[in-house]
Amino acid sequence: MSERPLEFVCHACQSRVAARDEPFACPRRGEDDADHVLEKRFPATFDGGFERVVDPTRNNPFLRYRRLLTSYAIVDDDARFVELVTRLDDAVASVDGGGFRVSPLATETALGNALGRRAALWVKDETHNVAGSHKARHLMGILLYLEALGVAREHPLAIASCGNAALAAAVVARAARRPLSVYLPPSASPTVLDRLRALDARIEICPRFPGTSGDPCYHGFQRALREGAIPFCCTGPDNALTIEGGETLGFELAEGMRTRGVPHHLLIQVGGGALASAVTQALFRAHRWGWIEQPPKIDPVQTRGAWPLPRAFERVVELLAASGDDRGSASDALEAIVRRRSSWMWAWEDEPQSIAHGILDDETYDGWQTILGTLRSGGRPLIVEESDLHSAYQLAQLNTTIRASHTGVAGLAGLLALEREQALRRDETVCLLFTGIER
Ligand SMILES: [Zn+2]
């Protein structure tokens, strides 16, 4: 057991929650201004050696990296865990047409050429993931935990989302025959609503009322949690296990970097921030465990329509500078800053608008780890214009076979912004994630 991840620790208040005690939200969340988020901690004795933890014979990420999962530690029996994942994956495939597979990472030569890039441009394609985006990865992390722990099937699940996360949650919940409530904005597309109904999800439409701050869907979701629902969501502060599921994508990237070399930049589009947080944490873990020499520069991308993360990054940098020049005290200063969340993160003041509507979250709920990863890797947050998003979409359509949405190609829009600012050398390698399929 000493080799298993068994404990979750809040990065703000250091509260500890054992793996079996539902490490969803920090027990002290809401008590004060701290950014309470539980994070998985591996025991100090855990060495994470690549050959010991990765099972290269498996193409299902939840089997390939199973030795890193909390659910695996709880089941504590390799054959039984493999059986559990296989059974759930078969059920997901019967609902959605395919199960979980390592998503492809490829050099996109034509796209690189179209951009006049001399160095390699890689794209990791999430559009063929379960439910057409990376979101299902996050949710499968939670589902495996619930199944491993034996949480009663009737226990209701809840999520707030504008599209892809809701679809992913509905597919995964349906596969496990668990009831799900989805909190959606009135702008949700009829296609999404039809699919959710077909998957038996309970739909709650949450209009935005003038004078109220924050996302009304998120408020509805919080109400459901207070009434006892399980957070089946893509927001780490509500459920730490959603980050664990998303980390599988980061481990896949780390494996790709092991064989191809680490790219100079990894551009990640950020909405609520769970994907960026999960990928960042996975890459830093992979670095600590010796899988890769160093993490790439993490460059998170948001749109001009709403950029709470770049704003928060700027605030954290200012607060760090104000705390003094002593480099040794930087970690103390960061510890103080994470306990004063409202000094760097707050809801975007206006209703966010952009063609990349999948990353228009009012707040970056999972902002902190992305900010830390950006700082520590030497990256920087990028704000893209609507024209960048349109250009990126066209470039992807013309020069790749991937049919990603405007949100899905927002990382490519970030690359266009970097190019425009001449902030990238021609010989710097870049990795992008195409995250969601066009519907
Ligand atoms: Zn806490």
27 part of a folded domain: no
**pLDDT score recorded for residue 111:** 98
**Distance between CA atoms of 296 and 431, rounded to whole angstroms?**
9
Q: Does some domain include residue 233?
A: no
Give Cα separations from 393 to 283, 322, 400 (angstroms): 27, 40, 10
Question: What pLDDT, on the 0 to 100 scale, is given for residue 326?
Answer: 62
Distance 34 CA to ligand 1 centre (A): 7
**Structural domain contains residue 126:** yes
CA of 275 to the centre of ligand 1 (A): 21
Residue 42 included in any domain: no
Q: What is the pLDDT of residue 240?
A: 98
Distant-in-sequence, close-in-space partners of 393: CB < 8 Å, separation ≥ 6:
404, 405, 406, 409
pTM score, whole prediction? 0.96
Nearest 5°: CA angle at 370, between 313 and 47? 140
- Secondary structure (3-state) at 246: helix
Span from the CA of 244 to the centroid of ligand 1 (angstroms): 18
Instruction: Give dist(CA 304, CA 307) in Å, integer.
Output: 6
Which two three-digit tokens encode residue 216?
């009304």
Residue 421 CA to ligand 1 centre (angstroms): 39
The answer to whether residue 7 sits within a structural domain is no
CA of 23 to the centre of ligand 1 (A): 11
Task: Say what the pLDDT of residue 210 is.
Answer: 81
Count: domains in the chain:
1
Q: 359 in a domain, yes or no?
A: yes
Q: Which residue do the tokens 């499968």 mark?
A: 140
The first and second tokens of residue 149, run together, are 């722990």
Chain position carrying tokens 């296990």: 241
* pLDDT tens for each residue of the chain, 439 residues long: 445 558 999 999 999 999 999 999 999 999 999 999 999 999 888 989 999 999 999 999 999 999 999 999 999 999 999 999 999 999 999 999 999 999 999 999 999 999 999 999 999 999 999 999 999 999 999 999 999 999 999 999 999 987 899 999 999 999 999 999 999 999 899 999 999 999 999 999 999 888 777 789 999 999 999 999 999 999 999 999 999 999 999 999 999 999 999 999 999 999 999 999 999 999 999 999 999 999 999 999 999 999 999 999 999 999 999 987 665 678 899 999 999 999 999 999 988 899 998 998 889 999 999 999 999 999 999 999 999 999 999 999 999 999 999 999 999 999 999 999 989 998 999 999 999 999 8
Tell me the residues surrounding ligand 1 (ion) with CB < 5 Å. 10, 12-13, 15, 26, 28, 36
Which CA distances in Å does 7 have to 42, 139, 207, 287? 7, 20, 38, 21
- State in Å: Cα 387 to ligand 1 middle: 40
Instruction: Specify the 3-state DSSP secondary structure of 5.
Output: coil
Look at residue 415 in the predicted model and tell me its pLDDT: 98
435: closest CA among 414, 389, 397, 404?
404
List, in sequence order, every residue forming a beta bridge with 84; answer none if it has no partner.
none
pLDDT of residue 4: 56
Q: What is the largest CA-CA distance in the chain?
A: 58
283: domain CATH number?
Answer: 3.40.50.1100
* Ligand 1 centroid distance, CA of 37 (Å): 6
Task: Give the pLDDT confidence score for residue 215 in this predicted structure.
Answer: 83
CA 369 / ligand 1 centre spacing (Å): 14
| DSSP state for residue 306 in the 8-state scheme | B
Structural domain harbouring 358: 105-132+241-434
Count of other CB atoms within 10 angstroms of residue 380? 17
Using the mean position of ligand 1's atoms as its centre, give its distance from the Cα of residue 25 in Å: 8
Q: How far is the CA of 271 from the centre of ligand 1 (A)?
A: 22
pLDDT at 3: 52
374 Cα: distance to centroid of ligand 1 (angstroms): 22
- Return the axis-axis angle of helices 367-377 and 274-288, rounded to nearest 10°: 50
- 132 sits in the region (left: phi over 0; alpha: psi -120 to 50; else beta) called left
- How many whole angstroms from 236 Cα to the centroid of ligand 1? 12
* Distance, CA of 170 to CA of 222 (rounded, Å): 18
**What is the DSSP secondary-structure string of 66-117?**
GGG-HHHHHH--HHHHHHHHHHHHHHHHHHHS----PPPEEE-HHHHHHTT-
- Tell me, in angstroms, the distance from the centre of ligand 1 to residue 38's CA: 7
81 within some domain: no
- Does residue 351 form part of some domain? yes
